[in-house]
Amino acid sequence: MSFESPREPARRSLAVQCCIVGGGPAGMMLGYLLGRSGIKTVVLEKHADFFRDFRGDTVHPSTLQVMQELGLLEDFLKIPHQQLTHMQGMFGKTPIRIADLSRLETTCPFIALMPQWDFLNFLETKGARFPSLQILKNTEAIELVRDGSLITGVVAKVPDGTLQISADLTVACDGRHSIIREQAGLKVENIGAPIDVLWFRVGKSKADSDGIFARLQRGQMIVTIDRDDYWQCAYVISKGKIDDIKARGLDAFRDSVTSLAPILRPRIGDVRNWGDVNLLTVRIDRLTRWALPGLLCIGDAAHAMSPVGGVGVNLAVQDAVAAANLLFDKFSNGGPSLEDLEQVQRRRLFPARMTQTMQTVIQDNIINRALSGEDLKPPLVARLITAIPWLQGQTARLLGIGVRPEHVHSAQRL
């Protein structure tokens, strides 16, 4: 890096082969893989750490398989986590079974539930041994840099000024509010999501456990994630209804929550005011083009996922594995060509489209209908899955492994 006068806001520069914008699951996995292949790579993360709560907590069997292929699984599973083998729910008063992951023939037939910051911190720690990988926190990409039609890097805001990064390839992994895809002028197809999520914590004793993951009642839905000494709660609401909920008051909100999930009653007082309840906006969208010369978008930046099925993290990781597989050996002559980058879209568009279709079918036909107070009988498909264990294995495949799982083929060059 070059430095200018220490009194002026610093304007520094850095030249790399690959600049990854965003240290979420897509960006951290791609950074790890390219660093492992000896590609000079920088990952920019705008926050100072990974300790934020808007992320998914699910590490799926196919991501665990990737960890195994990277030789990281044993250490990874030493991080405290819960192993979810069965996905069950309550539809009104009727118990339903959504998926039986123990039927999967894979190294880890379960979803590892752990706060996502543990997953990202783990990748950062393990990636520290690759001299070609740099992870810069407190570094926010604010501007794409172009040379004609070629994207040549970004300008980032750093605590004491700016950092100009030139790169043979810039990869947007900056999530569903990606500024990189916006600045690149890439067209977004909005698929729509009729729901938003209220995200809050309620304390628990370590001994409390609950086999029920999701509960749906007329007009309400909640998912409770066991984080050992507290429940991470996702209360699903119809889009735009937050003001109505607030108008009814905090007590009414607490009552709705505990009537839906009685296990939360003893510590619901932990929700002391509306400041303890975060609104997370949900969207489903997809870029029509994921690449331009010098630029590729993956993860939510290419296809924003809703929380339905808890599959967005896995999809982001799988995109990263595919991108590394297809691109790691294309950096020797000035970086991957547009044709190389389009290969990534060709490989990953189908899984993204299929998964988003599954999410919209569930959102529109089950969650949204129930939230609007309609018919609360479990739909036929849910009753069939509950009755037929073989079908629970098929849904486990769809949710836990996903469409077109990726395996690591990029080289390790240390």
Q: Give the separation between CA 401 and CA 315, rounded to whole angstroms.
A: 10
E strand or H helix at 250, and its extent?
Answer: helix 250-260
Identify the CA nearest to 236 among candidates 221, 216, 217, 258. 221
Residues 187-246 that bind ligand FAD (CB under 6 A): 197
Single out the residue of 63, 314, 325, 410 in contact with ligand FAD (rule: CB under 6 A).
314
What's the CA dihedral at 27, 319, 75, 232 to 10 degrees?
Answer: 80
Q: How far separated are the first and last CA of the chain, in Å rounded? A: 23
Which region, judged by CB under 6 A, interacts with ligand FAD, from 24-32, 100-108, 203-211, 242-250? 24-32
Single out the residue of 36, 40, 46, 201 in contact with ligand FAD (rule: CB under 6 A).
46
Q: Which is nearer to ligand FAD, 33 or 197 (CB)?
A: 197
Q: Which is nearer to ligand FAD, 12 or 265 (CB)?
A: 12
Q: Give the separation between CA 59 and CA 74, rounded to whole angstroms.
A: 14
Tell whether residue 348 is a contact of ligand FAD (CB under 6 A): no
Number of residues in contact with ligand FAD, rule: CB under 6 A?
36
Listed in sequence order, the residues at least 6 apart from 24 whose beta carbon sits closer than 8 Å to its beta carbon are 55, 120, 173, 174, 175, 299, 300, 316
Q: Which is nearer to ligand FAD, 94 or 121 (CB)?
A: 121
Tell whether residue 24 is a contact of ligand FAD (CB under 6 A): yes
What's the CA dihedral at 62, 49, 188, 297 to 10 degrees?
Answer: -60
Which region, judged by CB under 6 A, interacts with ligand FAD, from 44-52, 100-108, 238-246, 391-399? 44-52
Q: Is the dihedral of CA 148, 150, 153, 157 positive or negative?
A: positive
Tell whether residue 136 is a contact of ligand FAD (CB under 6 A): no
Q: Which is nearer to ligand FAD, 211 or 334 (CB)?
A: 211
Amino acid identity at 100: D
Which region, judged by CB under 6 A, interacts with ligand FAD, from 33-41, 127-135, 310-318, 374-382? 310-318
Does residue 299 sit in helix, strand or coil?
Answer: helix
Question: For 31-81, where are the E strands, in sequence order?
Answer: 41-44, 58-59
Q: Which is nearer to ligand FAD, 44 or 167 (CB)?
A: 44
For residue 50, the minimal CB distance to ligand FAD (Å) is 7
What's the CA dihedral at 295, 56, 29, 392 to 10 degrees?
Answer: -110
Single out the residue of 14, 16, 44, 64 in contact with ligand FAD (rule: CB under 6 A).
44
Tell whether residue 248 is a contact of ligand FAD (CB under 6 A): no
Q: How far is CA 123 from CA 133, 348, 382, in A?
A: 12, 22, 37
Single out the residue of 70, 165, 271, 311 in contact with ligand FAD (rule: CB under 6 A).
311
Single out the residue of 38, 299, 335, 400 in contact with ligand FAD (rule: CB under 6 A).
299
Tell whether residue 174 is a contact of ligand FAD (CB under 6 A): yes
Tell whether residue 175 is a contact of ligand FAD (CB under 6 A): yes
Residues 82-121 that bind ligand FAD (CB under 6 A): none
Q: How far is CA 201 from CA 210, 224, 227, 248, 250, in A?
A: 16, 9, 10, 20, 15
Tell whether residue 300 is a contact of ligand FAD (CB under 6 A): yes
Tell whether residue 367 is a contact of ligand FAD (CB under 6 A): no
For residue 7, the minimal CB distance to ligand FAD (Å) is 26
CB 231 within 8 A of CB 201: yes
For residue 143, the minimal CB distance to ligand FAD (Å) is 10
Single out the residue of 23, 38, 109, 153 in contact with ligand FAD (rule: CB under 6 A).
23
What is the CB neighbour count within 10 angstroms for residue 270? 16
- Which residues make up the interface to ligand FAD (CB under 6 A)? 21-27, 44-47, 55-58, 140-141, 173-176, 179, 197, 280, 282, 299-301, 305, 307, 310-314, 316
